[in-house]
Structure 1
Amino acid sequence: MATRIGQLPGTPYHLQAKTAAYRWWKPLLALVLVSVVFALGQALGLVLQVVFDLPEGSLPWGMLPLVAGLAVTLVPGVMLIARVVDRRPGGTVSSVLGRIRLPWLGWCFLIAALMLVAVILLRGETLALSSVTPLKLVPVLVYLPFIVFQAAGEEYVFRGLLVQSFASWFRTPWIGALISTALFGLAHDYSDPMIIAEFVVFSLAMVWITLRTGGLEATVAYHSINNLLALSVELTSGVHTEQGAAQFTPREMIVTIGGHLAFAALITWLAARKDLARTASPAIEQE
């Protein structure tokens, strides 16, 4: 039998967790459970690494266990937390319509790919297309679905569940955005100040996009393409840089931040042109 969740028509994305079942302690419980899900994903990655005897970070397959572990745990884990803790459909983390809007997701992937290829070229990097062989393409194709779901999982955690949970306390999304940005940075363990600055802009731009489009489709697309292109550059060049040791030049930082802001501006303009739903209407139903 269908029951209605607590959101009223007109409820924005960041208040989707503020249902009739809301209690003050639920954001803290959600944070604890998200940490458990992350730990489970990392543990699964370590198990796969041992089972397949893959040196951590080695090319081409050493990064696959961790990516795969997070890919299969984060999105289902977040949706389960939303369902159990907030007693709302897990799809309300995806968008205000309670689901992924597939046509919009397709547009977002196209724009993200064009924007990020332009950023790579402006940074002076290359994909070394002349050296690409079928053998080098195999890892990229194997990684592809895992990278998409791993990046999606991070968006569901940091721009989705955490922003929504903390907005239940503060009503504004931006306190939760700052908390999730700090946690996002800790999860990636970068040390270069220029990369940290770029990371902060990236995270806040993704929150802005989520609020202005009423869902995570654009951020999932941008994050996925960003990770996939970064991996493709490594696979075609044969050079892997440990995440914490990565560094930016001032030019790379400026170009990368410019790309984030340009994508945010373009995608929010397109969302407005398409009159994309930014609030729940009518109240979403679940079985």
Structure 2
Amino acid sequence: MAHVTGRHRWWRPLTGTVAVIGMWLLLFMVVYFVAYGVGSAQGYPEDSDEAIDFGPTLNTALDLTYLALAIPVVLLAVRWVGRRPAGTVSSVQGRLRKRRLGQYALIALPLVAAGMGGMLLVPGDGEVSGTGTSGDVWVGLDRYLPALAMLVVLVPLQAAAEEYVFRGWLLQAVGGLFRSPWIAVLPQAVLFAAAHGWGTPEGFTDLVVFGVLAGWLTVRTGGLEAAVALHAVNNLLSFALSAAFVGGLESDETAADLPWQLAAIDITVIVAFTAVVLWLDRRRARSLGAPGPYSVPGYDADASLRAQRVVGSTTS
């Protein structure tokens, strides 16, 4: 997408990556210290890490907010450093295609729900690693509903932020330097897995598979919608399950900690989602025929058509 504008230079991805990291750290520190000041003024205690302990629901809200800050950071880096419309990081149409996002979310919902149901049936020690459940003590409706409302608002933003960083900025940054899409897909997938920490080899593999297939879907569908939908639905159901049990939101386990049984189920869900989306996208491409130039202001039409041949005839 950077090449389509005609303003691409080899140094822009490198400079932009430094800018993304720097701006996110700056925003993180601002929000952290504001939260610390408010918490101290209201008499909240500190935890073992010397951060303010607001309780599981507000602590989770803060953690999700820290990650969500990456969305405006990536958009600003694309606009300021990349010198192109910020929406070009979202899709080949220069915007997040909301209709597609909704369609992909509807595909993801039953698949992820079935996968999590299968995980709960796997025999274990009473704790389902990676799904967020810890014990079986119900928190009560008065605590669950506020937590659920917070999760419905913030989890999609957190999931989208990770996609904008890895399948958006990093995939396009590397992709702007190489011809093969696989060279762009693989590095971001490994970095995505590494960002979740090292738990089990199976959990790490699961995250790499997610990163590879989410990256490939981004290339094939010409946008972040499929990856955002799967990530958001998966995280929302997982967090919602966590919030239902005492201590669930306080767990620091992630998908990186999955044992092989649960990783196998999760990979099956990811592969199934990918297959359905690619099938749907091929049908959409056949029904629409050859696409026209991207409708993004400032684009060169000839360069736009060349980019479409790289992405494929799946643009709508």
Instruction: Report the alpha carbon displacement of residue 211 of structure 1 after superposing the two structures with TM.
Output: 1.3
Q: 2:100 aligns with which of 101, 104, 111?
A: 104
Instruction: Report the alpha carbon displacement of residue 265 of structure 1 after superposing the two structures with TM.
Output: 0.6
Counterparts of 1:99-248 in structure 2, within 5 Å, are: 99-124=95-120, 133-238=141-246, 239=248, 240-243=250-253, 247-248=257-258
- CA RMSD between the two structures: 2.8
Instruction: Report the alpha carbon displacement of residue 171 of structure 1 after superposing the two structures with TM.
Output: 2.0
Matching residue's letter, 2:157? F
1:256 partnered with 2:253: no
CA displacement 1:233-267 (0-9 Å, x = unmatched): 11112233213696322211110111111111111
Secondary structure of the structure 1 residue equivalent to 2:251: coil
Instruction: Report the alpha carbon displacement of residue 57 of structure 1 after superposing the two structures with TM.
Output: 9.4
Is the contact made by 1:195 and 1:248 (CA closer than 8 Å) also made in structure 2? yes
Is the contact made by 1:68 and 1:146 (CA closer than 8 Å) also made in structure 2? yes
Q: Higher relative CO (CA 8 A, sep ≥ 6), structure 1 or 2?
A: 1
Bigger radius of gyration among the two? 2
Matching residue's letter, 2:22? V
CA displacement 1:56-115 (0-9 Å, x = unmatched): 6952221211211322x2122111111112221111111111111121111111111111
Normalising by structure 1, what TM-score?
0.84
* Matched residue, 2:86: 90
Instruction: Report the alpha carbon displacement of residue 43 of structure 1 after superposing the two structures with TM.
Output: 2.4
Distance 2:54 2:115 in 1: 25
Shift of the 100–244 alpha-carbon distance from structure 1 to 2, 3 Å rule, reads closer
Counterparts of 1:36-51 in structure 2, within 5 Å, are: 36-47=22-33, 49-50=35-36, 51=38
Distance 1:26 1:279 in 2: 31
Secondary structure of the structure 1 residue equivalent to 2:57: coil
Count of aligned pairs between the two proteins: 271
Distance 1:179 1:117 in 2: 29
Q: Which runs of 5+ in 2 are unaligned?
A: 45-50, 121-127, 299-316
Matching residue's letter, 1:77? V
Further displaced range: 107-116 or 53-62: 53-62
Shift of the 207–132 alpha-carbon distance from structure 1 to 2, 3 Å rule, reads farther
Matching residue's letter, 2:108? A
Normalising by structure 2, what TM-score?
0.77
CA displacement 1:200-240 (0-9 Å, x = unmatched): 00100100111121111111111111111111111112233
Distance 1:95 1:132 in 2: 42
Shift of the 69–278 alpha-carbon distance from structure 1 to 2, 3 Å rule, reads farther
Q: Which runs of 5+ in 1 are unaligned?
A: 1-15
Distance 1:246 1:282 in 2: 41
* Matched residue, 1:30: 16
Is the contact made by 2:93 and 2:296 (CA closer than 8 Å) also made in structure 1? no
Identity of aligned residues (%): 33
1:17 partnered with 2:2: yes
Shift of the 48–232 alpha-carbon distance from structure 1 to 2, 3 Å rule, reads farther
